[in-house]
Structure 1
Amino acid sequence: MSGIEIKCGDAISLLKELPDSSINLIVADPPYNLGKDYGNNHDLKGFDDYLEFTRQWTSEAKRVLKDDGSMYVFMGVRFISYLYDILDREQELFFNSWVVWHYTQGLGKTKGFSPRHDDILVFNKTKNFKFNLDDVRVPQKYYRARNNMRGANPGDVWKFSHVHYSNPNRQNHPTQKPEGLIERMILASSDRGDTVLDPFSGSGTTLRVCQQLGRKGVGFELNPEYVEMTKARLSEPFNGFDSVDPRMERVPNDLRKPEIRDEYLANHINWFLKNHENAIDVFTKAVKEKYGVLLEAKGESKSKQDELF
């Protein structure tokens, strides 16, 4: 668990113990104030009390963030506009992106439209922020010479499945986030050795991802049972993150020239599926079906003798 630290206590109090400008990236999934039961506390404050709570923790978060740092904050629909206003006008952070996390399964409604997304606000401490585009690119749908073989910007709509209850990595927590979702944030907005803070650690997803990506992780969690659960999770062997953007598994069309196709296929797994071993089979089968090419263990391609292209 080297470089990973989980502390039990109130987020605002623990934030006040951190030095100024000591954190490279903050990934925050605060309670949405919807009445969910988190074991030793219920997520239900008065409206004004919740806004004051948001002001206090975001003020401390801004203080501890480094000048080139970023903050990703999950929020439900009821308070998302207020959160934006607090981060933008009151904390005077710099707006970066409004990310929509789209998922295919969720609460069903018979009157009204069923919700199928969560919102994530991305703000920066200054205009000089860190962003590693090459680390979060997604494969192109069509290969063209003018396109970057390394892939495209993933955009601000992210599709990741929930961590289903049948998933072996599912924790006993009501709002567990997919590891692939957090992976993209950490790869985009921090470097190896950087310090990532999750002030509402919950099931420990951010710390688990930091552990595998070579980041220092600091987590705060109010519920001591979740702290112990996180410690147990961090001690488990790693077999790949529990979720992946389905675009990472796709094979670009029109890779007809063997020399271009072989160069691309030799790199795809390292570029897009490095931490997603459970998705490699899907990709290799798609390659064989589309191009009649067999991929060797290291991601190199081997064309059939009757290759048509």
Structure 2
Amino acid sequence: MTDEDSQNGKVRSPRNRSLELTEQDRGRLRSRLIPSVSGNFLELPIGTLQGDCLELVNLLPQNSIDLMILDPPYNLAKSFHGLRFARRSVEDYTIWLNQVISALKPLLKSTASIYICGDWFSSTSIFAVAAEHFIVRNRITWEREKGRGAKTNWKNASEDIWFCTVSDRYTFNVESVKLRRKVMAPYRTSEGTPKDWQLTGDGNMRDTHPSNLWTDITIPFWSMSENTDHPTQKSEKLIAKLILASSNPGDVMFDPFVGSGTSSVVAKKLDRRYLGIDLSEEYCLLTERRLELADSSQTIQGLADGVFWERNSLKLRNQLQEPDS
């Protein structure tokens, strides 16, 4: 329940599985945050740091990050637990984003990969800045099925993730991010055996190489255990694809706008090290609560048997016992 919900006396439905913090949680979890230091960190800390990433970056060791997931505030007017980000002109947002990336860039290893999240409006700025600092390799567009739409414009039903690298030496584990989906018109060999697909109890399935158009992502909602009250939360399935493709076990994932903590949680579940930073103490504590819960469950919705399953797959509904996958 948000602070606003509490003040208005709203009570969640018994079926609502959204994670919320109690005052007891807040008091207990503060000790889990990375403590501040008087000087620079001698080694890269692992965990969650509260503060302004543009200030804390100067305390962190350079050339220490394998993968950076950058999910900054989009160029929209938005409130993040009382912290407001105002919409700017395209030029001003581009300047701000350039300042952010210029500050963070020294932390990256020469073999690092970078994913920068945005919407249609901020993507103009993202490409301009990313192309100045990195090698831009692709733009992932993922379907975001949420929202009521608009009466005088097309409904915004997609977001972008720009894939960049520091150099031509980088990690990309294509076999780790295949998508298992139903085969609508399966081919057979001359012997009558399946060609590039499997006959299973769930139907005819094929493991396909990942494309840059993702239509299998479910936005976290009230009946999912990973859901929080963060206004722009990404799904664990979405972030898992980025982490599995562009890092290896033991590598360091860095998220300087960690928000509800999805990237850190997924990194932990996938045996990566992680550092998340956020200006909001509430979101830092929420991240630590989710990391705490990850000790007892390594499940990532949509990921099973070493592949990603398309939404509403029967196997996942049975395995995860959640309404959508």
TM-score normalised to the size of structure 1? 0.75
Match of 2:171 in 1: 130
Q: Residue 50 of structure 1: CA displacement?
A: 2.9
Match of 1:303 in 2: none
**Number of residue pairs aligned between Structure 1 and Structure 2:** 256
Residue 115 in structure 1 maps to residue 152 in structure 2? no
Residue 87 in structure 1 maps to residue 146 in structure 2? no
Residue 39 in structure 1 maps to residue 84 in structure 2? no
Describe the shift of the 1:273–1:143 C-alpha distance in structure 2 as closer, same or farther (beyond 3 A). Answer: farther
Counterpart AA for 1:235? E
8 A contact 2:138–2:212 mirrored in 1: yes
**Aligned residue among 264, 272, 296 for 2:307:** 272
Describe the shift of the 1:281–1:227 C-alpha distance in structure 2 as closer, same or farther (beyond 3 A). Answer: closer
**Aligned residue among 234, 247, 266 for 2:291:** 234
**C-alpha distance in 2, partners of 1:39/1:105?**
21
8 A contact 1:27–1:71 mirrored in 2: yes
**Aligned residue among 235, 239, 262 for 1:205:** 262
Counterpart AA for 1:233? R
Deviations 1:1-28 (A, max 9, x none): 8984100011111222222211000011
Residue 171 in structure 1 maps to residue 214 in structure 2? no
What secondary structure sits across from 1:16 in the alignment?
Answer: helix
**C-alpha distance in 2, partners of 1:188/1:107?**
33
Match of 2:202 in 1: none
Match of 1:152 in 2: 208
**C-alpha distance in 2, partners of 1:283/1:121?**
34
Match of 1:185 in 2: 242
**C-alpha distance in 2, partners of 1:283/1:272?**
16
8 A contact 1:193–1:216 mirrored in 2: yes
**Aligned residue among 96, 99, 103 for 1:53:** 96
Counterpart AA for 1:195? V
Describe the shift of the 1:44–1:151 C-alpha distance in structure 2 as closer, same or farther (beyond 3 A). Answer: same
8 A contact 2:178–2:308 mirrored in 1: no
8 A contact 1:200–1:219 mirrored in 2: yes
Query: RMSD value over aligned CA atoms?
Result: 2.7
8 A contact 1:273–1:279 mirrored in 2: no
8 A contact 1:73–1:121 mirrored in 2: yes
In structure 1, list runs of 5 or more residues that go unmatched.
Answer: 249-268, 285-309
Q: Which moved more, 1:203-212 or 1:150-159?
A: 150-159
What secondary structure sits across from 2:208 in the alignment?
Answer: coil
Q: Which moved more, 1:101-110 or 1:124-133?
A: 101-110
**C-alpha distance in 2, partners of 1:20/1:62?**
9
Q: Residue 119 of structure 1: CA displacement?
A: 0.8
TM-score normalised to the size of structure 2? 0.72
8 A contact 1:107–1:115 mirrored in 2: no
**C-alpha distance in 1, partners of 2:298/2:172?**
27
8 A contact 1:98–1:156 mirrored in 2: yes
Q: Residue 62 of structure 1: CA displacement?
A: 2.3
**C-alpha distance in 2, partners of 1:228/1:279?**
35
Describe the shift of the 1:148–1:54 C-alpha distance in structure 2 as closer, same or farther (beyond 3 A). Answer: farther
Match of 2:51 in 1: 9
In structure 2, list runs of 5 or more residues that go unmatched.
Answer: 1-31, 35-44, 189-193, 199-205, 320-325
What secondary structure sits across from 1:73 in the alignment?
Answer: strand
Deviations 1:201-245 (A, max 9, x none): 00000000011000001000000111111111111132622x42x
Describe the shift of the 1:124–1:270 C-alpha distance in structure 2 as closer, same or farther (beyond 3 A). Answer: same
**C-alpha distance in 2, partners of 1:50/1:214?**
35
Residue 24 in structure 1 maps to residue 83 in structure 2? no
Describe the shift of the 1:143–1:189 C-alpha distance in structure 2 as closer, same or farther (beyond 3 A). Answer: farther
**C-alpha distance in 2, partners of 1:50/1:110?**
27
What secondary structure sits across from 1:58 in the alignment?
Answer: helix
Counterpart AA for 1:71? I
Counterpart AA for 2:306? W
